[in-house]
Amino acid sequence: MKTVIIATKNKGKAKEFERLFSKYGIIVKTLVDVPEIPDIEETGKTFEENAVIKAEAIAKISDSYVVADDSGLVIDALDGRPGVFSARYAGEEKSDEANIDKVLSELAGVSEEDRTARFYCALAIAGPDIETVTVNGTCEGLILNERRGAGGFGYDPIFSVPSEGKTMAEMSAERKNELSHRAAAMKNLEPYIEKLS
């Protein structure tokens, strides 16, 4: 069976990818259990650049097919921040709680209609005998002024999807995987996954 390494150390993403890949009959490994692989520096200016940096670095080390995800939250009232800095928005320790607190305090006093935002996901696929390709996906929502729900990860507790009337942390894992930015990007990656030998 084909093996694909997902170049992420984020446990929340890793879980979602395990489900998203389950229909392809592919063995999926992540970096969650491989502490000896160093953190790849994300020096790109765009999600796509960072996804390519991560995918190609791990493909070189592993000689396998690799999918990397660079994602984040783009808030209109903050001119697109935290954007590519989503993971480290409140500091190098990459704390989800501190990141949420920082967003909430920056949006204090901003009215509901001006709290529009989207999650953005860029995926890059790289490997020994393929050209690196990137695809993307987005999910539109609103930033609440308090946390709701215990599921998901990252900014999910403050990201509400209006059509569902729920935050991403209030949805089931299955539902998030149907409508998320990551799910949308995976649909666009599908033709490239099916081509892998």
Ligand X SMILES: O=P(O)(O)OP(=O)(O)OP(=O)(O)OC[C@H]1O[C@@H](n2cnc3c(O)ncnc32)[C@H](O)[C@@H]1O
Q: Which residues define the annotated binding site?
A: 8-13, 41, 70-71, 153-156, 176, 181-182
* Active-site entry in 39, 70, 101, 129: 70
The site for ligand X, by CB under 6 A, has a size of 22
Q: Give the residue among 76, 62, 68 at the shortest CA–CA distance from 47.
A: 68
* Binds 155: which of ligand X, Mg ion, none (CB < 5-8 Å by kind): ligand X
Q: Give the residue among 170, 148, 166, 173 at the shortest CA–CA distance from 158.
A: 148
Q: Choose, by CB under 6 A, the member of 127, 137, 141, 152 that binds ligand X.
A: 152
Residues 90-129 that bind ligand X (CB under 6 A): 96, 99, 119
Question: If binding is defined by CB under 6 A, does position 137 make contact with ligand X?
Answer: no
Question: If binding is defined by CB under 6 A, does position 167 make contact with ligand X?
Answer: no
* Binds 48: which of Mg ion, ligand X, none (CB < 5-8 Å by kind): none
Name the minimum Å distance from CB 69 to ligand X: 5
Residues 7-66 that bind ligand X (CB under 6 A): 8-10, 13, 42
Catalytic residue status for 70: yes
Name the minimum Å distance from CB 33 to Mg ion: 17
Catalytic residues: 70
